[in-house]
Amino acid sequence: MTQNNFYITTPIYYWNGVPHVGHFYSSLIANTIFKYHKISGKNARFTTGIDENSQKAVIEAEAAGMDIMDYLDSMAVEHTKVWDHFNFDYTDFIRTTEPRHHELVQKVLQKCFDKSDIYEGEYEWMYCVWCEAFKKDDDLVYLNIEQNKTFPIKQWVKETTNIIKICPDHLKKPDQIKEKNYFFKLSKYQTWMEEFYEANPNFVTPRFRFNEVIAFTERGLEDFSISRETNTFGIPLPFDHSQVTYVWFDALFNYYTSCVSSRGWDKNNENFTDESDMFPANLHVVGKDIIRFHAIFWPAMLASYFDLWEDKSGVIHYKTSDLEKLPDQILAGWFFTVDGQKMSKSLWNVIEPVDYSQQYSKELLSLYILSWFPIGNDGDYDRTDAIRTYNAKLANNLWNLVNRVVVLSLKLDHKLWAGIQDFVNLSWEDYWPKMKELFPESAEAILESYANFEIVKQSMASYDLKKALDTIFMMLDDLNKFTDSEAPWTLLKTDLEKAEIILYIIARRLVMVGFELYPFFPEKMAQMFEKFGLEKYDEILEQWNLEQLQKTTPEFNITEKWENLFDRFDI
């Protein structure tokens, strides 16, 4: 991984069903962060995909009367339709049924087996086929069949034949399984893991999620099964073809496959090249329900494959150089309710991203999710408040200001700002004295607000998207106050030059804000640049050239009134 590379991933989502708003949240975060680094000049990569090697895929395909791969192909199309609807700029969509992934996983398995980090054993546990996960008692709940009520396993309930143990997510009784499996020696890396966490205190964000991972690890790591004897669909173990690879040892290595067999920043490219220098990831965006797999299993598996350890008296220890092959950070997302209730089709409150964005707008959904909840915390999606937030921040704050500039500029008799070239071309040293002369009461406030651009930069670098958005809209609030106090609509009748200068200041600031908002709302910001007469600004940004535009003095050319960029919605 080189300093100018930036590699971000979503989880690879389960193949079944159309992506819901939880999947959308992870992908939205990843796409926004990716866009920011891309326009900032980084060699940025963004991968997503689907996890297909599943026995339940076979069950569903048979129920649909379809060939398994035809069935999975159809499900892959449904996933990409959602991401393409939102114009998510992923550079690779990986499927775990692809030959490039099979080859990589078998290579990894063989190497880990050869060094005895994988061994044969017998496994007896409860297994939920729908979660594709082995379950302990603590993972299950009691179900009272007569009352149709569930109780935590830890809660005492009277022994009765009417109570069974079920998976809380799927409300199904797990299978009791006893079979020959192969296991990964996770316990071998107990000390290594603890030392790795201590040396990398920001490995998982937010911190309280990392504390949960650390506490779990300190209770003692157990070896885990990496194969299934009874599955018929998946990646065969290279050293025992009677077994197929169990989901996590298969799925997690997708992040490596997409670098070793890279599409080279073109999601449609089938000519794969080796771009291993992009690995490891700078950031994995995951849901909190799979944080343990990414923060515990994944580092240990990489440590095994890449020999990231040193042996001291039979104990495996972490060393600083190991970080070269380990991800920088894992960002754990949240779960949320809708209007104070858990999402449920029976309550008609499930938010389907595409349908919802078509009813309102893509920007409404994105704005509320990213600006209302700090990443990592659970929250409630209040649909009424989402509309209010959109109306206030985008329709009223941003669009109202843009519209003022457009309408007032069209009232000028000559080409916009042609009469103030001396002001436009002022050096930075001369700019502020002129500002203080023209606007003695508001110049200092404008100067101070420039510091907010640095806050936005720092927030984006630390993945605090909420703080970045809050800061941007605070700048727009200040710009609206400046506009109201200077009243250019009045000055157009009394002091044309000063009115033009005010409009130029506002427009120039809006372009700067547009650069900051581009990773969040690329389509709308591209339209804003175009309507300002700033042609190909979006193309230049997409070619990794934000710095070029920041140094360019924009030549505004507003020729017509626009249709609304952001329509208001009734509540």
Paired strand residues for 177:
125
Per DSSP, 116 falls in state T
Terminus-to-terminus CA distance in the chain, angstroms? 48
Please, are residues 309 and 318 in contact by the beta-carbon 8 Å criterion?
A: yes
CA distance 138 to 153: 6
- Look up residue 367 and give its two tokens: 């704005």
Distance CA 314, CA 218 (A): 20
pLDDT in tens, 41-75: 999 999 999 999 988 889 899 999 999 999 999 99
φ, ψ (nearest 5 deg) of residue 14: -60, 145
For the stretch 467-482, pLDDT in tens is 999 999 999 999 999 9
- Of 354, 352, 463, 288, give the one whose Cα is nearest residue 83: 354
pLDDT tens-digit readout, 149-204? 555 554 545 555 567 778 877 677 888 777 889 999 999 999 999 999 999 999 99
* Short-list 135, 139, 232, CA closest to 175: 135
Q: What per-residue confidence (pLDDT) applies to 135?
A: 75
Considering the domain delimited by 5-114+191-224+251-353, tell me its CATH architecture.
3-Layer(aba) Sandwich (3.40)
What is the Cα–Cα distance from 58 to 184, expressed in whole angstroms? 26
Fold of 383-550: Isoleucyl-tRNA Synthetase; Domain 1 (1.10.730)
Contact 518, 12 (CB under 8 A): no
Q: Which two tokens stand for residue 57?
A: 């895929």
Angle at 497 between CA 526 and CA 472, to 5 degrees: 35
Give the torsion sign (CA, 227, 228, 229, 235). negative
**H/E stretch holding 446:** helix 443-449
Tens of pLDDT, residue by residue over 374-388, are: 887 777 788 899 999
Closest CA to 393 of 546, 520, 503, 512: 520
State yes or no: cis peptide before 433, omega within 30 of 0: no
For the chain, give every residue range classified as CATH 3.40.50.620. 5-114+191-224+251-353
pLDDT, position 140: 79
The pair phi, psi for residue 556, each rounded to 5°, is -70, 145
* Cα(115)–Cα(311) distance, integer angstroms: 14
* 487/503 Cα distance (integer angstroms): 10
pLDDT for res 156: 47
Among residues of the chain, what percentage have pLDDT more than 90? 63
Q: Give pLDDT tens digits for 259-308.
A: 999 998 888 888 999 999 999 999 999 988 899 999 999 999 999 999 99
Residues of CATH 1.10.730.10 domain(s) within the chain?
383-550
Q: Which tokens is 40 given?
A: 């900032």
pLDDT over 70, % of the chain = 92
Looking at the DSSP assignment, which residues form a beta bridge with residue 184?
A: 118, 224
Nearest to 28 by CA among 452, 466, 387: 466
Separation of alpha carbons 379 and 515, rounded Å: 29
pLDDT of residue 503: 93
Q: Name the percent of the chain in helix, strand, coil, to the closest 5.
A: 50, 15, 35
Give the predicted TM-score (pTM) of the model.
Answer: 0.90
- In degrees to the nearest 10, what's the CA dihedral of 60, 62, 67, 72? 0
Using CA atoms, how far residue 524 sits from 11, 84, 361, 514, in Å, is: 27, 16, 11, 9
Contact indicator for 410, 561 with CB cutoff of 8 Å: yes
